[in-house]
Amino acid sequence: MTIASSRPIPGTDADWHDRREAFDLIRRLENAIAACKDAPPYLPRPSDEEEEDYNPVVENTGPRQRACLLQWQAWDNPTVVEILTAQKRLALIE
């Protein structure tokens, strides 16, 4: 009886492609986390002076949502988890 593995055989072209994609995902995650730190917490809203309870700002949740989505994608990728474990950087996806 054989057990099918979802991971490619080490050293094959598929393995190298999988690792390149994993490192690309890690880089995008790092950039998204950096964008969260640089992004303003609130953004100005277009003025609509007819409203009585006008709120001039809106919460900027876009950067945090992108980072959270990438963290979920990283958790779902066993190669990313393996790489970050080896680098002792699992805090990126926790």
pLDDT in tens, 23-72: 999 999 999 999 999 999 888 876 666 666 666 788 889 999 999 999 99
Between 93 and 5, whose confidence is greater?
A: 93
Residue 10: pLDDT band with limits 50, 70, 90: confident
Residue 3 clears pLDDT 60, i.e. is over it:
no
Of the chain, the end-to-end C-alpha distance in Å amounts to 36
Query: For residue 47, is it within any domain?
Result: no
Q: What is the reported pTM?
A: 0.80
Give the range of the structural domain holding residue 27, as residue numbers without chain letter.
14-40+55-93
Query: For residue 67, is it within any domain?
Result: yes
Query: For residue 86, is it within any domain?
Result: yes
Please report which residue ranges of 1-94 form alpha helices under DSSP H. 13-38, 62-76, 78-86
Q: How many domains is the chain built from? A: 1
SS3 42: strand
Give me the pLDDT at residue 5, please.
Answer: 60
| Residue 88, token pair as written in the block | 């002792």
